[in-house]
Structure 1
Amino acid sequence: MAFLTIPNVKIKGIACAVPKEIETLDELECFAPGEAEKVKELTGIKQRHVSPDGMVCSDYCTVAAERLIEELGWEKESIDCLVYVSVSRDYIEPNTATVIQGKLGLPQTCYTIDVPMACSGYCYGLSVVGSLLTLGNMKRALLLVGDTPTKIMSRLDKTLWPIHGDCGTASAMEYDTTAKPLFFNLNSDGSRKEAIIAPSSGVREPITEESLKMVELEPGVIRNKTHVAMDGMGVFSFTISSVPKNIKELCEHFNLEMTSVDYLLLHQANEYIDEKIRKKLKFEKEQVPYCIHEYGNTSSGTIPLTMASQIRENIDGKPFKCIMCGFGAGLSWASVYMEAEAIKVLPVIEY
């Protein structure tokens, strides 16, 4: 069933970490003259934070988690669960959640699992952690969500490299019988998996000498089969049709008033797409914040990063209502309704 109600769980805090290193669209070699300006105008992206060699998503998630644990005053022994949601995993084996558990010094009794999802990952991650906590057998959890897309994309691919940036986030979640329920609408369609895919990135199509060859598919699009590829028009049509429908279904199923929501927090695909969704759902501009201009599309990390970078002063420790919606690879898409009371939202960490 696509609809879930999860009671007794609240988000206690959010922290986000991004690389210090910034790359602007104007300096990219994949663009022909004049193309950078067109992309900036269409997507809203002016720059992104790009991780250096040797730094990956789990590093930024670990930094965010350490800072958040300290800020909340949580004893590490009290953390029962760690879920890592990302397609940027350190290894195929072992799972990255366990690696992070070791780095953080969490107890050996801590439940650890990877959820390898991209742009819909924050909403799906909330459903996974919420389901684990809701009965009260586990009391505290860390949801670590983010990606370093620049590690799995070609720098010479003008369709993907300029729009993506890197980040890692941490959300602290807790069992609490006074919490308002979280409401979910979760969807997927694997028949359209080819829309966003890195063909030679797993065991189905192993990496070979042939798959590592860089191929020019068209001017400004050079990549190999280990890199992510996207059917841009297919993803666009999917998004503007499926996403508004998903959010409307969420509200209709749970008898939620869309007009009572303070914020619609969308995955930062690009500003043109998100504006289409906003207008379809008739939200005001100030209700739909964007961080894409500064950070680009950070895949599963965009929703918490938007909260920390754009509306922190309005929501830190204050009650608010929001709908969150993520959509992308899978294809998968999901929306969540949340009534928050007093989430601790930290300023974005540059590391």
Structure 2
Amino acid sequence: MAIFQVPNIKIVGISACVPEAEFDNNNYDWISEKERETLIKTIGVEKKRHAKKGTTTSDLCNIAADNLINDLNWNRAEIDLLIFISQSRDYIIPATAGLLQEKLSLSHTCIAFDISLGCSGYVYGLSVIGSMMATGRIKKGLLLTGDISTLNTSYQDKSAFPLFGDAGTATAVELNNDANSMMFNLQTDGSGYDAIIIPDGGIRNFANKNTSFEYHKISDGIFRNNFNIALDGIKVFNFSLREVKPNINKLLQEFELSNDDIDYFVFHQANKLMNETIRKQLKLDPEKVPSSLESFGNTSSASIPLTIVTELADKVKNSKLTLLLSGFGVGLSWGSVILETENIVCPKLLIYKD
């Protein structure tokens, strides 16, 4: 069972960046007005940000990280670890983390690598960067998470297009011997790999001259090709309702904590129906479960830090908090972490003018 602690690691800053262009789901004309109203009410997404073609996740993460480094007054030569978590990397080869190391003017002694994860990526990323830094030799590190999902969704797919938005985030982490341990519970079920998938374009189904980019009908209101995100909403919904509550409860029980010990529960922003159902399963007050869905949609691995920046900035900047963060989705992969923040640097949301 992957329940463990990571000692002596402190989050000192979180920043987020979104594209300037905003899409209003009230203008989504692929479906009828009545169906559109029902859809918006169900998924909870009124508006979301869309990157223009040519803008990458690394562009957004670079802005978030560069501004955060400056606000922290960090010496860039002292940053020895950069982890980039995304499923929309710049190139198949090389890793995007190396490009970010160069853009951010970090030292050649800096470790930089990618991790391919989506919805659970932020929680998993904290476990990796924390575990590496807890060895004691790496003093400062950056965790960059995000995705450009809108470029991979079909406008003619009512199950995916209205849901996803684009964002990139940066989290600054320091070694601190006085920091309380982060507590993790991480899980995986690869049998559900096809619940959220882009079927073609990887090595399994490589694009070639015979590849079709034509849309084909999946069901009513859903037309896409095999290079678009395919979302099995029912499978993902059932998975989340089956696994997230036990994961969180097990983590709390393992470390002899209760819901009352947590100031805020910050969930991956999957959709309103799913997140509200999980909140009710856990018997949490709405005030303890912030949401950024209405303005930004589902932003994959960026959704947890984006929600902290947009909904909890004043709290994390001016007080000491105990947070439970939980990510769940593509993989299928899910996990939760309990951690403390105190007076961290949390700049206002950054806008990328692409």
Shift of 1:282: 1.2
Asked if 2 retains the 8 angstrom alpha-carbon contact of 1:29 and 1:156, the reply is: no
The residue aligned with 2:312 is 311
Shift of 1:68: 0.1
The residue aligned with 2:183 is 183
**Residues of 1 paired with 2:173 and 2:197: CA distance?**
31
Q: Does 1:252 align with 2:253?
A: yes
The residue aligned with 1:205 is 205
The residue aligned with 1:103 is 103
Shift of 1:52: 1.1
Shift of 1:211: 4.1
The residue aligned with 1:286 is 287
Secondary structure of residue in 2 paired with 1:102: helix
Tell me the TM-score normalised to structure 1 length. 0.98
**Residues of 2 paired with 1:42 and 1:303: CA distance?**
20
**Residues of 1 paired with 2:45 and 2:36: CA distance?**
10
Worse-matched range after superposition: 209-218 or 78-87: 209-218
Shift of 1:25: 0.7
Paired residue type of 1:236: F
Note the 1:89-238 alignment, pairs <5 A. 89-208=89-208, 209-238=210-239
Shift of 1:220: 2.0
Shift of 1:30: 2.5
What are the ranges of 5 or more consecutive residues in structure 1 without an aligned counterpart? none
Secondary structure of residue in 2 paired with 1:162: coil
Asked if 2 retains the 8 angstrom alpha-carbon contact of 1:317 and 1:344, the reply is: no
Shift of 1:201: 2.9
**Residues of 1 paired with 2:108 and 2:291: CA distance?**
39
Shift of 1:263: 0.2
Asked if 2 retains the 8 angstrom alpha-carbon contact of 1:119 and 1:328, the reply is: yes
Secondary structure of residue in 2 paired with 1:141: strand
**Residues of 1 paired with 2:219 and 2:271: CA distance?**
22
Tell me the TM-score normalised to structure 2 length. 0.97
**Residues of 2 paired with 1:269 and 1:116: CA distance?**
18
The residue aligned with 2:13 is 13
Q: Does 1:330 align with 2:340?
A: no
Residues 63, 83 of structure 1: alpha-carbon distance in 2 compared, 3 angstrom cutoff: same
Secondary structure of residue in 2 paired with 1:268: coil
Secondary structure of residue in 2 paired with 1:38: helix
Worse-matched range after superposition: 173-182 or 307-316: 307-316
Please list the CA deviations of residues 119-178 of structure 1 after superposition, one character each: whole Å capped at 9, or x if unmatched: 000000000100110011111100000111112221221100101100000000011111
Shift of 1:84: 0.2
The residue aligned with 2:271 is 270
Asked if 1 retains the 8 angstrom alpha-carbon contact of 2:317 and 2:342, the reply is: no
Secondary structure of residue in 1 paired with 2:33: coil
Asked if 1 retains the 8 angstrom alpha-carbon contact of 2:15 and 2:349, the reply is: yes
Asked if 1 retains the 8 angstrom alpha-carbon contact of 2:53 and 2:151, the reply is: no
Worse-matched range after superposition: 334-343 or 178-187: 334-343
**Residues of 2 paired with 1:67 and 1:221: CA distance?**
40
Asked if 1 retains the 8 angstrom alpha-carbon contact of 2:62 and 2:104, the reply is: yes
Secondary structure of residue in 1 paired with 2:171: strand
What are the ranges of 5 or more consecutive residues in structure 2 without an aligned counterpart? none
Asked if 2 retains the 8 angstrom alpha-carbon contact of 1:211 and 1:226, the reply is: no
Worse-matched range after superposition: 201-210 or 8-17: 201-210
**Residues of 2 paired with 1:30 and 1:230: CA distance?**
18
RMSD of aligned residue pairs (Cα, Å): 1.1
Note the 1:32-47 alignment, pairs <5 A. 32-47=32-47
Please list the CA deviations of residues 272-294 of structure 1 after superposition, one character each: whole Å capped at 9, or x if unmatched: 11111111111111000110000
The residue aligned with 1:346 is 347
**Residues of 1 paired with 2:177 and 2:269: CA distance?**
32
Paired residue type of 1:244: K
Shift of 1:53: 1.7
Shift of 1:194: 1.1
Paired residue type of 1:72: L
Worse-matched range after superposition: 151-160 or 42-51: 151-160
**Residues of 1 paired with 2:155 and 2:97: CA distance?**
28
Shift of 1:62: 0.2
Identity value in percent: 39
The residue aligned with 1:75 is 75
